[in-house]
Structures are given as C-alpha cells and as structure tokens.
A and B are shown apart, each in its own frame.
Chain A
Amino acid sequence: MGATVVTVTSGKGGVGKTTVTANLAVALALLGQRVLAVDTDIGLRNLDVVLGLENRIVYDLVDVVEGRCRMRQALIRDKRLSELFLLPAAQTRDKSAVNPEQMVKLCAQLRPEFDFVFVDSPAGIEQGYRNAVAPADKVLIVTTPEVSAVRDADRIVGLVESEGKGPAKLIINRLNPAMVRREEMLSTVDVVEILAIDLIGVIPEDPAVIVSTNRGNPVSLDGRSPSGQAFRNIAGRLMGQDIPIMPIKESASMLDRLSRFFRG
C-alpha cells in the first residue's frame, strides 16, 4: 500500500486552500497518520507560514525536482507533531520550474513513506494547477458560499472530471449561519445544488482561524474551536469514518446575548 495523494484546489484565490490543507494535514497527523503536506504554489508559497515552519526551510520542491538535494533533506518535520512533514515550494522561481510528469514521479517516490500526501494547489487553472492535480488520487475542491467562488469551483469540477480525477469532493469554507438565516449568504444546500458533487465538510466562519494562521498554529490543533472540530471531522471522513455532517450552529454574538438578556 501507499499514501493517498489528496490535492486541495479551488480555482479562485483566497477561499482557504492553504488553511484547509494545513488543518487537514494536522488533523490527520493527530489521528496517528503519517502525513506530508506539499506546497506547489511556487513563487507564492504560504503553507510554510501557516504551519509555522517558515524559518526551517533549507531545500524545497524545486531543489528536489532539479536534483540539488535528496528528498529526505527537503522534508521538514513539524515542530509539534512528529508524524507531520512539509515539502515547501520555492519562492524565487515560478510555476514553470516543475511540470506535471515530475510531480507524478515525485509523489510516486513519496507514497511508500506516508499514509496521506496533501498537495496544496495554487489558484488558477494554469500550469500550477495542472502540477498539483496530476498526481492526485482524490481532489478536494474548496469554495466559500459566494457566487464568484462557486462559479470558479464549478469550472474546476469540470476540469477535474475531464482529467479523469473525479468525482471531486467539496469543502464549503467560511459559512456564516446567521447570514444564511437572513438569506444574505448562499446556504450549504444552495452550493451543493449548483455543484452537484459530494460534500465532505462545512467549516464555519471563525475568527480563531485568522489568529491561528497568523501565529503559524493551525486551528485544528485545538479541538474546542468550531472550525477546528469541523476540520477534525473531515479528517475522520477521509479515513473512511462515518461522521454525519452536522448543521452549523449559530454562535450567539455578544450583541445577540445582550439583546436576549434585555428582552428577558
């Protein structure tokens, strides 16, 4: 057996691909899996920052592909979880430094060593995206409940299908239940209806994500936050556990609580 290669992509930028990659990798490592997270966003790398491993980079993906170092030398072991590793992207090169065949070869070399290999894709549908999807066994598409993000996700669903990598699974990120209730945001049902692929998880909007990203401490390290719990649930589903997708509860804001208090 070998690792399952899971590519996280979205089409649109800024919907949370890197956050999802980092958190799922952490959550699976917490479940005792041997996990590698690969950043393919060459020239705009971020995964190292979100994982808090930025200052440990010596070699990167391009060094491995161009034979300047051995694979082992480029893998960075996480400072908290001994079963989690990062293969960072190069920052001073661009997407053309690697091609899809090299990514397939690279992942073939990594498969025996891990249970899961996560590939964080860059935004877009050009070479960076093709590099990321080429080695995938499973594709996770991240979208936010916004019309623009859903449209780009739809484009990706089609591309993934045409490459025979489908059916992709869907993650809806940054859902705000209060806005959905007021019909100001697309609901989970709306998004799934448009994209017509299996939903593997919904992550609520959670300020803790921003704090944890800035500190390089992925939120799923902390199972108490609502988003951390959502990531852990997706990790369980990736391992084949049957965890139902729970409707996201509205967390009462201070204002809500106060107004309720005054209304008695």
Chain B
Amino acid sequence: MTELVTIKGTSEGLIITLGAGPLETVVSEMEERLASRASFFRGGRVALRVGDRSMSVEQLQEIGVILERLGMTLWAVNGDHPATHVAARELELEVDLHPSMPHTTATSESISLEEMAGIVVHRTLRSGQAVHYPGHVTVIGDVNSGAEIVAGGDIIVWGRLRGNAHAGAMGDEQAVICALQMQPNQIRIGSHIARPPDRSWRPKAPEEASVQDEGIVVERWKKSE
C-alpha cells in the first residue's frame, strides 16, 4: 500500500480511504487531493474508510469541517477499531457503508467501469451548462461549444460533441468518449488531454476516443468484439 489516500466515486457518493501513516499527513494529503478538483467534488457526500485506525470524536469532527469547507458532507465512517465506531455513533454518522462492502483495511480496489452507475441527460447541453457526475454520462442530444461534461466513467454523446468532455476524471484511463459526431473543443481522459487539429473538418462516422500508448486516440466507432 503506497497511496496515503484513495478517492473513489460510486453511485452512493465518494468513498475516501485513509491509508497508513501519521493522521495529520494523511488528512492534509486528502485535503490537497480534494481541493485540486474542488469544483468536481463539490456537493458530494463522503463515506470515510479508516481501516484499523482509532479515531476520536475530535479527529472525525476535524475531517468533517475540512470536507464541509470543500462543499462536501461526511455521512458515514467505516473502520475496524471499536473506538472509531463509538466516535462515529456519537456524531450520528453511519458506520455501515454498504452491507456488501468488504471490511478489508485500506485496500484500493477501484470500482470497475462496468459497475459504475450512470445517468442519461436527455437534452442539448448549451454553452455554459455543465454535467459533473462520478459515474458514466450519456447525453441524448448535442453538447455545444462552451458546454462541458466531467464524468468519473465513460461519456457517450448521441449527437454532436462540440464542447469539452472529460472522461475518467478521477483517474481512470480506461474510460472512453464516444460521439455520433466528434467535433470537440477539447477532450480529456484521466490525466490526458487532446484537442483537434486547427483546420476545420467534419467527421463522417461515429467515433470513439480512448487512451492508447500514453495519448488520446480518436478512431471510428468499432463494433465491440
């Protein structure tokens, strides 16, 4: 386990797992990671997984305050130490994230793309409109220049993509972006970024963008094997 903090998006909200190391370091790492994508995480709810750490009421409160400052709310704390349970209960937080959630400590199995939740946006996104969602996003309509989609998973546009799209925004480089007409200002997948060539063009067929060999490649939408 090398990572101090792992952040995962699920349909239930964010799950933040605190890894090993001094609490102060781990918490400040968490704050920094969240702050760097504050606009993306804003408004989300957070379940904290602390493993076998013993957390006091004050420590949990402190984390709650940090999250609140970033526009998020702490709703659950999951941990193995009895003291953590007591503290969480005292703050009226949930202690059981999900009945099926394995109670292993600080492992960072990421939610696979297949399991992610998705939403369907059934309208045209116009300039200045934005959809931010931790799972997959499907738009039935056009995404105009100046509009943006930021998704934890894949982005599918059943229409023209002329704006900005960021798939795998929480770091998933396997995510893809598909559009009937791919004419974006910019697309991003995970930490990669690409913009189309300066000359004007009009794609003739639906296309799919994915990360291949450390760069974003756009190619004709293939039938899946």
Which residues from chain A sit less than 8 Å from chain B, CB to CB?
Answer: 43-45, 52, 54-58, 66, 68, 79, 91-92
Contact = CB atoms under 8 A, between A and B. Distances in A.
Interface in B126-149: 127-130, 145-146, 148
B61 interface: no
Q: How large is the interface on B (under 10, 10 to 19, 20 to 34, 35 or more residues)?
A: 10 to 19
A44 B38 CA distance: 22
A79 B199 CA distance: 13
Nearest to A58: B193
B112 interface: no
Contacts of B129: 92
Given A43-B128, A58-B193, A91 B198 contact: no
Given A55-B185, A55-B186, A57-B186, A92 B193 contact: no
Interface in B164-201: 184-186, 193, 195-196, 198
A92 B198 contact: no
Contacts, number: 31
B212 interface: no
19 contacts: A44-B128, A54-B145, A55-B184, A55-B185, A55-B186, A55-B195, A56-B195, A57-B185, A57-B186, A58-B186, A58-B193, A66-B38, A68-B35, A68-B36, A68-B38, A91-B127, A91-B146, A92-B128, A92-B130
A127 B156 CA distance: 37
Contact of B128 (A54, A55, A91): A91
B79 to A, nearest CB: 31
Contacts of B36: 68
A91 B36 CA distance: 19
Contacts of A45: 146
Contacts of B186: 55-58
Nearest to A56: B195
B146 A55 contact: no
Contacts of B130: 92
A92 B36 CA distance: 17
B69 to A, nearest CB: 13
Contact of B148 (A43, A44, A68, A92): A92
Contact of A79 (B127, B148, B184, B198): B198
B35 to A, nearest CB: 8
B128 to A, nearest CB: 5
Contacts of B127: 91
Contact of B196 (A43, A55, A57, A91): A55
A91 to B, nearest CB: 5
A55 B148 CA distance: 13
Contacts of B35: 68
Nearest to A94: B128
B178 to A, nearest CB: 19
Instruction: Give 7 closest A-B pairs by Cβ, nearest first.
Output: A55-B195, A92-B130, A55-B185, A91-B146, A91-B128, A55-B186, A43-B128
Nearest to A44: B128
A58 B186 CA distance: 9
A57 B198 CA distance: 14
Interface string B198-212: 100000000000000
Nearest to B130: A92
Interface in B102-157: 127-130, 145-146, 148
A51 to B, nearest CB: 13
